[in-house]
Amino acid sequence: MKTAVCPGSFDPVTNGHLDIIKRTSKMVDKVIVAVLYNPGKNPLFTLEEKIDLLKEATKDIPNVEIDCFSGLLVDYVKQKNIDFIVKGLRAVSDFEYELQMALMNKKLNHEVETMFMMTSGEYSYLSSSIVKEVWKFDGCIDGLVPEVVKKALHKKFK
């Protein structure tokens, strides 16, 4: 049984994240979507809200489990017997940071592998931050986030 983890801040989950989660779910038996608990980052959504939004957004994918973690990702990976980490790559700008994280994770635990999946072209410019920015100023975010996230953003900002 192969298990992958898609870790992230998910503040909030976007259609770009969902694209990576769905495509990963077709390649493994189980995908754990793990939300980093990091209140220091001053997130818009609480951990519980992020988890609820992810649960709703992934409810039609049978082999997805939503969880959270704090501390080092490699420790979580070991504790949950996860086979590999999956990260989405959007543009070249992601590469340097992701390479740094993957290499640090490898240094911390040489058994932990990171796999990279290219984002679908239509989401290559998308991020949680840019969605929040556009929505804050009443821009259109149709097709960029699941409906449940749109409603949650509406509640936060209006």
**DSSP, res 71:** S
Q: Please identify, using beta-carbon distances, which residue of 61 and 102 lies nearer to ligand PNS.
A: 102
Q: Which is catalytic among the residues 25, 30, 87, 128?
A: 128
Burial class (CB within 10 angstroms; exposed 0-12, middle 13-18, buried 19+) of 156: middle
The reply to whether 101 sits near ligand PNS by the rule CB under 6 A is yes
Q: What is the CA radius of gyration of the chain?
A: 15
Sign of CA dihedral 12, 64, 18, 40: positive
Catalytic status, residue 93: no
Q: Which two tokens stand for residue 8?
A: 């992230």
Using CB under 6 A, which of 14, 24, 105, 119 touches ligand PNS? 105
Catalytic status, residue 25: no
Catalytic status, residue 90: yes
Q: Which residues within the stretch 69-88 sit at the binding site for ligand PNS (CB under 6 A)?
A: 72-73
Nearest to 54, CA basis, from 130, 143, 149: 149
Q: Please identify, using beta-carbon distances, which residue of 8 and 153 lies nearer to ligand PNS.
A: 8
Using CB under 6 A, which of 27, 99, 104, 115 touches ligand PNS? 104
The reply to whether 99 sits near ligand PNS by the rule CB under 6 A is no
Whole-number Å distance between alpha carbons of 6 and 47? 16
Catalytic status, residue 127: no
Whether the Cβ atoms of residue 83 and residue 50 lie closer than 8 Å to each other: no
Nearest residue to ligand PNS by CB is 8
**Active site residue ranges:** 17, 41, 90, 128
Contact residues for ligand PNS, defined by CB under 6 A: 7-9, 36, 72-73, 101, 104-105
